Amino acid sequence: MTTRREFLGAIPAAGAAFAVGGNYLLEPTPARSEIAMPLAGHFHPKGKAPSKFTLDILRQSKAELPFDDVRDLEEQKKGFIAPMKDLKIQADAGHVAWDMKRFQFLDEKDEFDSIHPSLLRQSKLNNNYGLYQVIPGIYQVRGLDLFDITFIRGKTGWIVFDPLVSAEPVRAAWKLFQEHVGEGLPVSAVIYSHTHGDHWGGVRGLIDEADVRSGKIPVIAPADFMQFTISENVYAGNAMNRRLFYQYGLLLPASPHGYVGQGLGQAVSAGATGLIAPTRFVTDTIEEFEVDGVRMIFQNTPNTEAPREMNTYIPEMKALWMAENVIASLHNIYTLRGAPVRDPLNWSKYIAEALYRFGLEAEVMFASHHWPRWGNARIQEVLRQQRDLYANMNNQVLHYANQGVTINQIHNVYQVPAGLQKAWHCRGYHGSPQHNARGVIQRYLGFWDCNPATLIPLSPADSAPLYVEMMGGAEKILARGRELHDEGAYLLATEILDKLVHAQPDNPAAKDLLADVFEQLGYQQENPGLRNSFLAAAYELRTGIPQGETASSSSPDIIRAMSTDPFLNFLAIRMDSRKAEGLKFTPESVTSVRC
C-alpha cells in the first residue's frame, strides 16, 4: 500500500490531467481512455456520518448566512430558453466526457448534514444546464463544463467567447444553440479572455484550424497569451497534477459524503483538448476595434486572475464581459494546485477601472462562470464589493504582517469584513480566505516565518520519528488522537496523527484515525477545494493511492504552439541535469533531435 511519504511520486492513471491555470484539463489517450469522471466513485467507501461537532458548526453557519437574499436564485433562472436533454456527453475516445447526472442528487433535498449549507446553495445554483439568453444578441450555454460558453451575434455569424475545456461539450453546446437560436449561421470569430486552458481547450470542437490560418476566422487574445499559457500551465504541470487531485477531488464520488461541485461550476469536462494559436492580440491597455461588425472595447488586465486577461465592453449593447475577474465567488490569490501567487491589489484596481470606464452605464454584466447581473445598480454593487474584497485582502493581511503575524498564523487571524461576508458573491467558493491570506504573505515575504528553526527544516519523514519517540510512542499518540477526535478538536488531532503517519506509514490504525479526522474537517468546509483536499486525503489514507502512468502536462498541440524560447525552457525543465553534468552543448549534438 502506498504511503503518504510517496504522495508526490504517484499519480493515478484515472487522472490523465494537466494543470491549466485556474483549473485543469483532462487529456485522454487511446491507452488511457478510462479517466477521472467514469472512474470516480468506484473505489471510495461510503463516508462516515458527521459528528455532533460538525453538525453544530454547519447549523451555526446556516443561521449566520444571508439566506433572505435570493437575487442569485432569480438571476440564475433568468433568460432560460431550453434544457440540455442529454445528461451525459460521450467523448470521441469512447469514455464519458461530461456527466451531469451525477449531480442530480443535489436537487433531491434542501439540506445535507455532510455539506456546508453555503456550499450546497452554490452547488445547487451550478446545476443550471442548458441554453440562456443574456440579452437579445448574447446567449450562453451553461453547465456543460466548469464554465459557460458565450455566443454574440455578429454581422455574418456568431462570435464565441471562451470555448470550454474540451471539444465534445463544445460541439454539444453549439448543437443546442443552433437548434434554438443560431439561425444556421457559422462561427465568425473566437475570443480567448485569458491564458487558463479551461477557456480555450475546446476550440477544435468549434472551428477548423485551416479557417484560422486562412484569415477567415480570427482568434483574438490578450498580449503575451502564448508566453504565459506555456509558462503557467506547462513548466510545473506534472507537479500540479498531483496537487489538483486534492483540490478537484478527482477520485471522490459525487455524493453527500464526497464531491459536491467545484464552486466555479460542477466539474471539468474530460474530452479531447487542443489549442489553436491566436491570430490577433490586444496589446494596448484599452483597445477598441470591430469584431465581425460589433464594436468592442477591450481592457487588458494583466496579473489579475491570470497573468494575461482582458475584460470586454460592447457599447451598443451596454454589455460588460468581466472574463474571470469578477465571478460569483472570492477567487484564488493562491491556488491549491499551484501557480504564481496573484496580485490582489492590482486585481482590485482593474475592477475599479472597469467600474468607472464601463460599469457606470452597463445594463448587463456577464462572465465566464456563473450567471449574469442585470441593471446598473446591481452591476455597480457587485463591482464595488468585488473591488473592495481583493483590496481588503491585500491591505489588511499586510497590516497584520507588519504587526508580526506570520504566514503560519495569518489564516487564523484574517477575516473578510463582515459587510462583505453578507454578499454571496464574496464568499469563498473557489478561493478561501484562509489559503488566500497565506498567499498574500507568500507574495510579499515568501515562505519563511522569521523563525530560524524553520529555515532548513527536516523533511517530515525524517523529523516525525523523533516526535513519536518524545510523545511516548504510537499507542499514546493514538489514544490522545482518539480523545481529540471525540472532543471535536480535529485540527489538534491532525498535529499529532500526521506525525505518527509519517513516522509509521504502515500503521493502519494511525491512518484510519487520521482519515476520520480529515473527513470531519472536510464536511465542515464552505470552500470546495478545502473540502475536496481533506476528503481526498481521507480516501487515500484508507485505500492507498491507485498506481498508474503519470499524466502528461504537455500535449502535442501545446508543444507545437511554443516559440523557440519557451520550448528551450521546457526542454531544460524536462532534462535531468544530473545526467548532463560534464557534457558540453554543441550544435552538432542536436542535429538528430525530432520534435
For residue 593, count other CB atoms closer than 10 A to its CB: 7
| Closest listed residue to residue 529, CA positions, set 252, 145, 271, 342 | 252
What pLDDT is recorded for position 198? 83
Q: What pLDDT score does 7 carry? A: 28
How far apart are alpha carbons 583 and 287 in whole angstroms? 49
Residue 569 has pLDDT above 80, yes or no: no
Q: Output the domain CATH number for residue 294.
A: 3.60.15.30
Alpha carbon separation from 21 to 328, 336, 492 (Å, rounded): 19, 11, 33
Distance from C-alpha of 94 to C-alpha of 91, rounded to nearest angstrom:
5
CA distance 51 to 25: 35
Q: Grid cell 504517484 — which residue?
A: 10
Listed residue (76, 187, 79) closest to 138, CA to CA:
79
Sign of CA dihedral 190, 196, 199, 200: positive
542 domain-assigned? no
**pLDDT mean over 119-140:** 98
Q: For residues 180 and 5, which has the higher predicted lDDT (pLDDT)?
A: 180
Q: Which of 2-6, 468-472, 590-594 has the highest mean pLDDT?
A: 468-472
CB proximity list for 508: less than 8 A, separation 6 or greater: none
Does pLDDT of 19 surpass 80? no
Q: Is the dihedral of CA 420, 426, 428, 429 positive or negative?
A: positive
In a domain, residue 68? The reply is: yes
- One-letter amino acid at 3 equals T
Q: Which pLDDT tens digit goes with each residue over 309-365?
A: 999 999 999 999 999 999 999 999 998 888 889 999 999 999 999 999 999 999 999
- Per-residue pLDDT of 271-291, as tens digits, reads 999 999 999 999 999 999 999
Query: Partners of 161 in the beta sheet?
Result: 150, 191
Say if 8 falls within a structural domain: no
* CA–CA distance, 396 with 392 (Å, rounded to integer): 6
- Could you give phi then psi for residue 290, rounded to 5 degrees? -90, 140
Residue-level pLDDT at 34: 29
Query: Hey, what's the cell of 419?
Result: 459587510
Provide the mean pLDDT of the chain.
87
Report CA 147 to chain centroid distance, whole Å.
10
Strand, coil or helix: what is 161?
A: strand
CA–CA dist 207, 276 (Å, integer): 9
pLDDT in tens, 212-230: 999 999 999 999 999 888 7
Number of domains in the chain: 1
- H-only helix segments in 313-375: 344-354
Does residue 292 form part of some domain?
yes
Q: Does 257 fall in a domain? A: yes
Question: Does some domain include residue 240?
Answer: yes
- Residue type (1 letter), 179: E
pLDDT at 566 (0 to 100):
64
Distances (CA, A) of 567 to 26, 198, 578: 22, 22, 20
Q: Which domain holds residue 354?
A: 52-445
- 43-70 average pLDDT score: 89
Q: Which of 325, 293, 363 is nearest to 152 (CA)?
A: 293
What does the pLDDT read at residue 21?
36
Say whether pLDDT at 23 is over 80.
no
The confidence score (pLDDT) of residue 1 equals 31
Average pLDDT over residues 144-161: 97
Report whether pLDDT(37) > 90: no
pLDDT at 553 over 60: no
**Residue among 434, 411, 462, 404 nearest 526 (CA):** 434
CA atoms of 516 and 542, how far apart (whole Å): 9
Instruction: Using the structure block, give the residue that is written with the C-alpha cell 553534468.
Output: 581
Spatial separation of the C-alpha atoms in residues 169 and 271, rounded to whole Å: 8
CA distance 321 to 323: 6
